[in-house]
A and B are shown apart, each in its own frame.
Chain A
Amino acid sequence: MERLLRDELKAVNYMLPKKRKSLKELLNEEYPHVPLRDGSTHMFRRSELQRACNVLGEELSGNLFLPIILEMRAELKEVVAEVGDPVAIKLICRILDINEPEKPPLRLYPVHLRVLRREIGTLLMYAISFRRALGEEF
């Protein structure tokens, strides 16, 4: 049973990035991608990177690290995603045309996720927060 649980946790979080790259760095690559923990790669769509750069401007594009990790919380019936990175919050708020929260994290609901997936789908990555789901010992 423990092995099954460990495998299940691995399945989601094993595919998280080993190292994140800045938007500026990715735009200079021919095939923009980041390596993942399982040894494979996650590719980004160039048009989406360009869109993010246009929204944020040249100055902030060096501070945005991709992919943006959305911490998923399924405590309620509806899944809620949380973003903690201030630059990512800025980008998301500008794309969604909503006000920035006074204090991070920014909470995103399925309606927001649908828009974000269309605009910057490849720049996002989901992570399930197991500490919340399972308690502190995991």
Chain B
Amino acid sequence: MSQQTLRVTRPTKIELIRLKKRVKVAKRLHKVLKDRLIILTQELIMLMKDAVELRQKVCDKVQECESLLIKSTPLIDPSLMESYAHTRYGKVEGIIGSRVVAGVRVPLIEVRREGKPRESPEYPILLILTSRCFEELLDLTARLGEIEASITRLGAEVARVKRRVNALENVLIPRMENTIKFLEFKFEEREREDKTRMKKVKQILARKEGTVSAST
């Protein structure tokens, strides 16, 4: 914690009042930032847990898809495979948008398919199973991409907010409080000096009055 004080141009009461107000605002800001930091951190932890889980799922899915592809390649004509991949759905589109999580803009990635898949008995079952597997893999990858991009953005925001919280907690607020203490000491000292000065003046006046009354 910082032991330094702020540089005050003139140690006046106005300056002290102004500083006290600033401390009040700084403490409020600190509370808001800390609340936000808790929310962001919690969101970040949840996303990280999801990302770890999803990454494992994607790895498993890739292995499953590859084994299915290895099995189906020698049996199915590549041109049929390609044409089926193109015509399985009427339309497949990737939608990229954004959403907001605790004041941070994060991406939203969605794969949207139109209609039902063409899975008639005229196509080999292995081909259908392979395409189903790749379809799931595509969904999982899109979701993983979304989560990982969100983690990066939330992480950056957490770092920014944390920096501000630390600066307020360890530097700005202690410095202002130290300055307030210093100013208060200074005023007390000035008051004490004034009192002793007044006493002295009183004594001198009393002495003068005494000599005047004695001479008369």
A-side interface residues toward B, CB under 8 Å?
1-2, 4-5, 8-9, 11-15, 31, 33, 36, 40-47, 72, 74, 79, 110, 113-114, 117-118, 122, 125-126, 128, 130, 133-135, 138
In the complex with contacts A15-B103, A40-B105, A114-B46, A133-B32 CB distance below 8 A: yes
Docked Cα-Cα span, A2 to B27, in Å, equals 11
For the A-B complex with A126-B103, A130-B32 known, give 20 more contacts whose Cβ atoms are closer than 8 Å.
A5-B29, A5-B32, A11-B103, A12-B36, A12-B102, A12-B103, A31-B95, A42-B98, A43-B95, A43-B98, A46-B112, A79-B35, A79-B42, A122-B99, A122-B108, A133-B28, A133-B31, A133-B32, A134-B28, A134-B31
> Interface range on chain B: under 10, 10 to 19, 20 to 34, or 35 or more?
20 to 34
8 A Cβ contacts from B16-43 to A: 22, 25-26, 28-29, 31-36, 38-39, 42
Q: A1 contacts B46, CB within 8 Å?
A: no
> How many whole Å from A136's CB to the nearest CB in chain B?
12
Contacts of A8 in B (CB 8 A): 29, 32-33, 36
Judge whether B100 and A128 touch: CB under 8 Å.
no
**Are A113 and B35 in contact, CB atoms less than 8 angstroms apart?**
no
Q: Which residues of B contact A9 (CB under 8 A)?
A: 32
Partner among A1, A118, A126, A133 whose Cβ is within 8 Å of the Cβ of B102: A126
Complex CA gap A72/B102 in Å reads 10
- Per the bound structure, the CA–CA distance linking A114 and B105 in Å amounts to 19
Whether the pair B39, A36 counts as a contact (CB closer than 8 A) is: no
A contact residues around B95 at 8 Å (CB): 31, 43
Contact among A15, A42, A72 for B39, CB-based, below 8 A: A72
Known: A113-B46, A126-B102, A128-B35. A43 touches B28 (CB 8 A): no
21 CB contacts below 8 A, A to B, read A1-B22, A1-B25, A4-B29, A8-B32, A8-B33, A9-B32, A13-B103, A15-B100, A31-B97, A33-B97, A42-B100, A46-B110, A72-B35, A74-B38, A74-B39, A113-B42, A118-B50, A125-B100, A128-B35, A128-B36, A133-B35
The B contact surface, by secondary structure, is helix
B28 in contact with A138 (CB, 8 Å): yes
A104 to chain B, nearest CB (A): 21
Taking the complex as formed, is B101 at the interface, i.e. its CB lies under 8 A from any CB of chain A? yes
User: Could you tell me if B32 and A134 are in contact, using CB atoms closer than 8 angstroms?
Assistant: yes
Residue of B nearest to A7 (CB): B29
**B105 engages A45 (CB within 8 Å):** no
**Once the chains are docked, how many angstroms separate the CA of A78 from the CA of B102?**
16
Query: Could you say which of B31, B32, B101, B110 has the most chain A C-beta atoms within 10 Å of its C-beta?
Result: B32
Q: Output the least CB separation between A82 and chain B (Å).
A: 13
Closest-by-CB residue of A relative to B25 is: A1
The list of the 6 closest CB pairs from A to B, nearest first, reads A43-B97, A74-B35, A12-B103, A15-B100, A5-B29, A126-B102
Write out the residue numbers on chain B whose beta carbons fall within 8 Å of the beta carbon of A114. Answer: 46
